[in-house]
Chain A
Amino acid sequence: MARRLVTLLFLVLAAMAAVSGLAAAQDGEAVEGTLRGPDGEPVAGVTITVEQDGQEIGTTTSGADGTWLVPVPAPGGYDVTLDAATLPDGVALRDADGATLPAVTVRPGQQRTVLFPLVAPGAADDGAAPGPAPPPADTGPGIGALLAQLTVSGIKYGAIIAIAAIGLSLIFGATGLINFAHGELVTIGAVTAFFLNAAAFGPGMGLIPAALIAIVVGAIVGGALELGLWKPLRIRGTGRIQLFIISIGLSLFLRHIILVIFGSRPRPYADYVIQQVMIFGPVAITPRDLVITVLSLVVLVAVGLMLLRTRVGKAIRAVADDRDLAEASGVDVSRVILYVWVLGGALAALGGILFGLSEIVAWDMGFRLLLLMFAAVILGGLGSPFGAMAGGLLVGLVAQLSTAYFPVELQNAWALGVLILVLLVRPQGIFGRAERVG
Chain B
Amino acid sequence: MDFLVILADAGRGALGPVAAIYALAAIGLNIHFGYTGLLNFGQVAFMLVGAYGVAVTVAVFGGPLWLGVIVGLVAAVVLAFLLGIPTLRLRADYLAIATIAAGEVLRLVFNSGVARPVTGGVFGLQQFAGAFYAVNPIPSGNYGFGRLTFSQRDLWVMLVGWGAVALATLGVFLLVRSPWGRVLRAVRDDEDAARSLGKNVYGYKMQSLVLGGILGALGGMLLAVDAQAVAPNTFNPVVTFYLYALLILGGAGTVLGPVLGSVLFWFLLLFIDSALRQAIGAGYIPDEVISPADVGAVRFALVGLGLMLLLIFRPAGILGDVEEMRLEAGAGATPRRRRRGRKARPAAGKRTDERVGG
Contacts and interface: CB of A to CB of B under 8 A. Distances in A.
Q: Which of A242, A245, A417 has the most CB of B within 10 A?
A: A245
A371 B101 contact: yes
Among all A-B residue pairs, the 6 with the closest Cβ atoms? A237-B335, A252-B304, A253-B304, A249-B307, A249-B308, A256-B301
Contacts of B312: 5, 233, 238, 246
Given A250-B308, A371-B100, A21 B289 contact: yes
A21 B93 contact: no
A74 B111 contact: yes
Interface residues of A, number: 58
Q: Which of B89, B97, B302, B328 has the most CB of A within 10 A?
A: B97
B290 A254 contact: no
A420 B304 contact: no
A378 B94 CA distance: 9
A256 B300 contact: yes
Given A9-B305, A21-B289, A248-B307, A420 B101 contact: yes
A20 B288 contact: yes
A420 B98 contact: yes
Interface stretch (B43-51, B62-70, B216-224, B238-246): B238-246
Contact of A235 (B86, B91, B291, B337): B337
A239 B333 contact: yes
A415 B93 CA distance: 19
Contacts of A413: 104-105, 108-109, 112
Nearest to A419: B101
B269 to A, nearest CB: 13
A268 interface: no
B294 A416 contact: no
B307 A374 contact: no
B332 A427 contact: no
B130 interface: no
A409 B307 contact: no
A11 interface: no
Nearest to A435: B91
A293 to B, nearest CB: 26
Interface residues of B, number: 68
A178 B297 contact: no
A407 interface: yes
B279 interface: no
B154 interface: no
A308 interface: no
A73 B328 CA distance: 44
Nearest to A235: B336
A237 B294 contact: no
Contacts of A224: none
Interface string B278-311: 0000000001111101100111111111111011
Contacts of B287: 21
A417 B109 CA distance: 11
B339 A178 contact: no
30 contacts: A17-B289, A20-B290, A21-B294, A73-B123, A73-B233, A74-B111, A74-B121, A74-B122, A77-B113, A239-B329, A239-B331, A240-B332, A242-B329, A244-B39, A248-B241, A249-B304, A249-B310, A249-B311, A252-B303, A254-B304, A256-B299, A374-B101, A407-B113, A407-B114, A410-B108, A413-B105, A413-B108, A420-B86, A423-B90, A427-B90
